[in-house]
Amino acid sequence: MFRYRMIVEYDGSQYVGWQRQENGPSVQGAIEKAILSASGDVVSIRGAGRTDSGVHAMGQVVHADLSREWSPFKLQNALNAHLRLAGERVAILDVTSASEFFDARFSALRRHYLYRIISRRAPLALEAGKAWFVAKTMDHEVMHAAAQTLVGKHDFTTFRSAHCQANSPVRTLDRLDVTRSGDLIEIRATAQSFLHNQIRSFAGTLKLAGEGRWTPDDVRAALEARDRKACGPVAPPDGLYFMQVDYPDVIVDRRQETETTDDDDDLS
């Protein structure tokens, strides 16, 4: 077996999500089909994050085991050609050979997400499906202040989906920054892993702060309530982008790592 690491971009709007499912086309399925067409190998690939339906990616990371050795350059071109032929909105940005100890999901040190909000009066024409349209005026500085109450190691029960399968609601949020450029408000989130719907729950709650309906202290109180009902409305998937995954320079053995790393899913 020859393992390859791939960096993947996709427009999530036409997919049921990253993961292969019965109810429709998935990004995982699209890439697995392209691998089958290119190589004849029936594979099951693993992604660093199991993004929901409608969530986009600029830097999803995947590993795949193929039966023969490929030049990464040729493999990338072959997969992109098959994805394009199949009309998929998926592109393989990079392919590298990887050690057998590299696991796209379990070797991940940090995951980086971006949530985009466009705050203006007019609905979105060019950015439809690519950002959350919010007609109200928002104060991004209040949003940023509120976000800082969430950074650090906390029980994030308030901000995870009722369907979240993680064993523990405790996560360490490294970064949650809110910036603005014109009508565009960007929320950048970094953590080793996230709970299901965590970033969309943050975005929906921070919107309330941006509109002046919640203070940063209200956001802190929601966190401390450890109660799903204390969360603001979950923001739509359209604005969420899986941006980047960091890995150790020396990829450790997966069996060692599962002992030190929380193995819960990243279902933001």
Q: Which residues are catalytic?
A: 52
Question: Which residue from 125, 163, 181, 250 is in contact with a second copy, where contact means CB under 8 A?
Answer: 125
Which uninterrupted H or E stretch holds 6? strand 2-10
Query: Which of 46, 120, 180, 226 is the binder for a second copy (CB under 8 A)?
Result: 120
Token look-up 């982008």 returns 241
Q: If binding is defined by CB under 8 A, does position 10 make contact with a second copy?
A: yes
Q: Does 93 contact a second copy by CB under 8 A? A: yes
SS3 222: helix
Among 44-52, 85-93, 161-169, 222-230, the segment contacting a second copy (CB under 8 A): 85-93
Q: Is 37 in the site for a second copy (CB under 8 A)?
A: no
Cα separation of 89 and 83, whole Å? 8
| Minimum distance from residue 11 beta carbon to a second copy (Å) | 5
**Of the candidate residues 36, 40, 67, 84, the single one contacting a second copy (CB under 8 A):** 84
CB of 263 to a second copy, least distance (A): 29
Annotated ligand binding at 113? The verdict is yes
**Containing H/E element for 38?**
helix 27-39
Q: Contact with a second copy (CB under 8 A): which of 90, 114, 142, 173?
A: 90
Quick check: helix, strand or coil at residue 13? Answer: helix
Residue 166 is given by DSSP the state -
Q: Whole-number minimum distance, CB 53 to a second copy, in Å?
A: 16
In this structure, what token pair is assigned to residue 247?
């890995």
Nearer to a second copy, 21 or 77 (CB): 77
| Cβ distance to a second copy smaller for residue 95 or 199 | 95
Residue 74 contacts a second copy per CB under 8 A: no
Interface pick for a second copy out of 43, 91, 230, 234 (rule CB under 8 A) = 91
* Residue 127, number of CB atoms within 10 A of its CB: 16
Residue pair 219/201 in contact (Cβ under 8 Å)? The answer is no
- Among the listed ranges 75-83, 102-110, 193-201, 215-223, the one in contact with a second copy (CB under 8 A) is 75-83
DSSP state, residue 64: E
Angle at 197 between CA 196 and CA 200, to 5 degrees: 155
What is the secondary structure of 119-165 as a DSSP string?
A: ESSSPPSTTTTTSEEE-S---HHHHHHHHHTT-EEEE-GGGS-TT--
Q: Which residues are annotated as a binding site?
A: 113
By CB under 8 A, name the binding residues for a second copy: 9-11, 56, 58, 76-77, 80, 83-84, 88-94, 120-126, 128, 130
Q: Which residues are annotated as a binding site for substrate?
A: 113
